[in-house]
Amino acid sequence: MEIVKVENLRKIYHQDALEIQALSGINLSLESGEFTVVAGPSGSGKSTLLNLIGGLDRPTEGRILLAGEDITRLGKGRLSHLRLNKIGFVFQSYNLIPVLTAYENAEFILLLQGMPYQKRRQHVMELLEEVGLKGLENRRPYEMSGGQQQRVAVARALASNPDLVLADEPTANLDSKTGLALIDMMLDMNKTRGVTFLISTHDTRVMDKARRVILLRDGQISSDVRIGESLAQNSASP
């Protein structure tokens, strides 16, 4: 099933008198259960693409269909509702609410959704165990390592059983070993739960773990490779 369909997506930022083309005509389709990495040099438009798909920003042109629904036409309130229920976010840093514990952070979205306490508690405890944080439920963010914090963020992103998890450079602030472990954990979740992931990175080792790599360059897709197809084609592209 097609979860995301992006058609002719353009985004132009206006900075002072300057026009910056961050995305210039992206066409893309994500199948349910895919684990996709968006790679590309700094400034190539990775964050912009993820933000648009996540409904955090509006495109200048083009359509984004999320489970068949065109989100570019939705109002602010509907978008907020959609993010709450359909999409999980993992950001690069400052992911967690500093005054809440790991448990409370993971619980945050379910609380907003109004899930009853018993169900919520069980669900969150399960998730925290799955991401390997059993026993750290009552730690505050500043009492945890960067990797542990990102795991809490992943647990939170998964808590509402979203259609899609968007992670913008989730490993950028981690050392490579911790970063790779985080990606492995996400891959696990992808396998066991069948959640669709779209992750941006410029770490080649993270790319190696993906089953599909989309390479962005200057706001355009320069290659889109599924693992199993030729790896050579991937590295040969400019």
Partner 1 sequence: MKMASRNLWRNVRRTLITMVAIGLGLALAMISIGLGDGGHEQMIESGVRMGAGHITVQPLGYQKNPSNDKIITDDALIMEALKDIPHVREVSSRIVGKGLISSAANSSGIAFRAVDPGKARDKSLLAPHLISGDYLAVGEAGSILIGEGLAQKLKVSVGKKVVLMGQDASREVSSALFRVKGIYKTGVSDLDGYFCLISLKGARQFLGLEQGITQVAVYLDSQFEVEKALPILRSRLGSLPVEVLPWQEVMPDLLRFVQLDDAGNYLFLGIILVIVALGILNTILMSVLERTREFGMMLALGLSPHFLFLMIIFETTLLALLSMVLGGGLGFGGHHYFATVGLDLTGLTPERLTLAGTIISPVLYSHLRLMRIFGLLIIIFLVTLTTGLYPAVKASRLAPVKAIYQY
Ligand X SMILES: Nc1ncnc2c1ncn2[C@@H]1O[C@H](COP(=O)(O)OP(=O)(O)OP(=O)(O)O)[C@@H](O)[C@H]1O
Whose structure tokens read 């930022």?
Answer: 13
Q: How far is the CB of 42 from ligand X (least distance, A)?
A: 3
- Does 45 help bind ligand X (rule: CB under 6 A)? yes
Looking at residue 125, the DSSP 8-state letter turns out to be H
d(CA 149, CA 96): 7
Nearer to ligand X, 38 or 182 (CB): 38
Q: Out of partner 1, ligand X, Mg ion, none, which partner does residue 150 contact, by CB within 5 to 8 A per kind? A: none
Closer of 45 and 170 to ligand X (Cβ): 45
Residues 6+ apart with CB under 8 A from 162: 85, 86, 87, 88, 195
Cα separation, 150 vs 96, in Å, equals 8
Q: Between 22 and 128, whose beta carbon lies closer to ligand X?
A: 22
Q: Provide the residue count of the chain.
A: 238
User: Rounded to the nearest whole angstrom, what is the least distance from the CB of residue 80 to partner 1 in the complex?
Assistant: 5
Min dist. Cβ of residue 188 to partner 1 (A): 23
For position 95 contacting partner 1 by CB under 8 A, the verdict is yes
Site for partner 1 in 128-167 (CB under 8 A): 156
- Among 24-32, 81-89, 117-125, 208-216, the segment contacting partner 1 (CB under 8 A): 81-89
Question: Using only C-alpha atoms, what is the Rg of the chain?
Answer: 18
- Does position 16 bind ligand X by CB under 6 A? no
Which one of Mg ion, ligand X, partner 1, none is in contact with 112 (Cβ closer than 5 to 8 A by kind)? partner 1
Instruction: State the DSSP H helix or E strand holding residue 103, giving kind and residue range, or none if neither.
Output: helix 102-113
20 binds partner 1 (CB under 8 A): no
Our CB check for partner 1 shows the closer of 43 and 211 to be: 43
- DSSP per-residue letters across 130-199: HTT-TT-TT--GGGS-HHHHHHHHHHHHHHT--SEEEEESTTTTS-HHHHHHHHHHHHHHHHHH--EEEE
One-letter identity of residue 121: R
Nearer to ligand X by Cβ, of 42 and 192: the residue is 42
Residue 174 contact among Mg ion, ligand X, partner 1, none, beta carbon within 5 to 8 Å by kind: none
Strands 2-15 and 18-31: antiparallel
Can you give the binding site for partner 1, defined by CB under 8 A? 47, 51, 54, 56-57, 77, 80-85, 87, 89, 91, 94-95, 97-100, 104, 108-109, 112, 156
